[in-house]
């Protein structure tokens, strides 16, 4: 069955939805995005994702789309029209289509941002069996640009990183800069040592994960110790546990790094507990 998607004010079957070939997201990766998960038909961490969207737009001097204040209604409408119980909603805003290719930003009074949303149905997202076995990651150089805190659609290197992982028989890659892990290709990275949860501090070096913020809050509320600092691949390989967080995987255990088992090479209790708390609390707070 074809999806109903949203493009610039219209709900359309996906085959009928179009964007200009001059759209700056297409030509220049001049666009930002958000992915909000849906559990039990409810939006998870919606306010956080919209706050980060606004931050990304501001950081790039991009106007808000006209429908910015209606985004909750649009998300809900898409969930209803596509009958999404578990899955994700992808939202993208670009600087629009100026009718030609030019590096210079178009006049925002003349060229309006392009707003696109679509759903991805993923039944079984919360009960993902991979959370019981964990994933294997490899480490690769972090050669991305310097503003990783802005959630742009410039995802070529993260895609290449996932391909490098696949070619190496692993599931994902952790990015390393100056000897320290920054984050995963599409998630934030954590280790657990002697009961302490360690994850890189916020800066322009990493995306400020919405799931990260919620998980660290829940961890602190559960009296767990959190250390926000960077760590090396070596330290991660010596850790008791490791995991990643993102809106689409929640808390996902990592059981090996560059072929070395982490802890005993199985899913650990801290990641398991945090996943349970995150999913339970997020469903309760879903909108
Ligand atoms: N880091 C990167 C590079 C990402 O692409 C993502 C997910 N888009 C994350 C972290 C996790 O962010 P969130 O928890 O908001 O999904």
Choose the final residue of a domain: 86, 121, 156. Answer: 121
Per-residue pLDDT of the chain (287 residues; tens, 9 = 90+): 699 999 999 999 999 999 999 999 999 999 999 999 999 999 999 999 999 999 999 999 999 999 999 999 999 999 999 999 999 999 999 999 999 999 999 999 999 999 999 999 999 999 999 999 999 999 999 999 999 999 999 999 999 999 999 999 999 999 999 999 999 999 999 999 999 999 999 999 999 999 999 999 999 999 999 999 999 999 999 999 999 999 999 999 999 999 999 999 999 999 999 999 999 999 999 99
The CATH number of the domain where 31 resides is what?
3.30.470.10
Phi/psi class of residue 56: alpha, beta or left (left: φ > 0; alpha: ψ in -120 to 50)? alpha
For residues 278 and 141, state if they share a domain: yes
Nearest ligand 1 atom to the CA of 52 is: 15
Which residue segment(s) compose the domain that 236 sits in? 130-285
Task: Return the active site residues.
Answer: 151
How many angstroms does the Cα of residue 208 sit away from the middle of ligand 1? 7
Please enumerate, as own/partner, the contacts of 194-198 that have beta carbons within 8 Å and a separation of 24 or more: 194/240, 195/224, 195/225, 195/270, 196/225, 196/226, 196/227, 197/224, 197/225, 197/226, 197/227, 197/270, 197/274, 198/226, 198/227, 198/229, 198/231, 198/239
For residues 96 and 187, state if they share a domain: no
For residues 115 and 154, state if they share a domain: no
How many angstroms does the Cα of residue 116 sit away from the middle of ligand 1? 19
For ligand 1, atom 2, name the residue with the nearest CA.
Answer: 186
- What is the total count of domains within the chain? 2
For residues 169 and 112, state if they share a domain: no
Of 187, 217, 218, 243, best ligand 1 pocket probe by most atoms within 8 Å of the beta carbon: 187
DSSP three-state, residue 196: strand
pTM of the model: 0.97
For residues 92 and 135, state if they share a domain: no
Choose the final residue of a domain: 64, 95, 121. Answer: 121
- Pocket-forming residues, ligand 1, beta carbon under 6 Å: 35, 183, 186-188, 207, 209-212, 245-247
Of 44, 247, 252, 254, best ligand 1 pocket probe by most atoms within 8 Å of the beta carbon: 247
How many angstroms does the Cα of residue 122 sit away from the middle of ligand 1? 18
Choose the final residue of a domain: 97, 121, 145. Answer: 121
How many angstroms does the Cα of residue 109 sit away from the middle of ligand 1? 31
For residues 190 and 250, state if they share a domain: yes
């Amino acid at each position: 069955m074809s999806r109903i998607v949203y493009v610039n004010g219209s709900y359309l079957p996906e085959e009928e939805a179009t964007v200009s070939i001059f759209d700056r997201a297409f030509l220049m990766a001049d666009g930002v995005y958000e992915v909000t998960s849906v559990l039990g038909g409810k939006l998870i961490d919606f306010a956080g994702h919209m706050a980060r969207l606004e931050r990304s737009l501001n950081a790039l001097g991009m106007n808000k789309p006209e429908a910015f204040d209606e985004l909750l209604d649009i998300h809900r409408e898409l969930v209803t029209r596509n009958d999404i119980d578990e899955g994700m909603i992808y939202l993208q805003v670009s600087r629009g289509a100026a009718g030609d290719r030019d590096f210079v930003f178009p006049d925002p009074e003349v060229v309006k941002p392009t707003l696109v949303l679509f759903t991805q149905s993923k039944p079984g997202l919360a009960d993902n069996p991979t959370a019981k076995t964990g994933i294997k990651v490899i480490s690769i150089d972090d050669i991305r640009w310097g503003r990783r805190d802005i959630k742009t659609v410039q995802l070529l290197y993260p895609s290449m990183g996932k391909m490098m992982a696949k070619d190496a028989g692993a599931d994902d890659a952790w990015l390393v800069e100056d000897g320290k892990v920054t984050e995963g290709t599409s998630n934030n990275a954590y280790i657990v040592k002697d009961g302490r949860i360690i994850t890189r501090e916020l800066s322009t070096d990493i995306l400020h994960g919405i799931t990260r913020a919620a998980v660290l809050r829940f961890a602190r509320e559960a009296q767990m110790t959190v250390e926000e600092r960077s760590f090396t691949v070596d330290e991660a390989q010596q850790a008791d546990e490791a995991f990643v967080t993102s809106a689409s995987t929640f808390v996902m255990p990592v059981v090996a790094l560059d072929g070395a088992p982490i802890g005993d090479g199985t899913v650990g209790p801290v990641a398991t507990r945090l996943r349970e708390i995150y999913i339970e609390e997020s469903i309760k707070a879903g909108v």
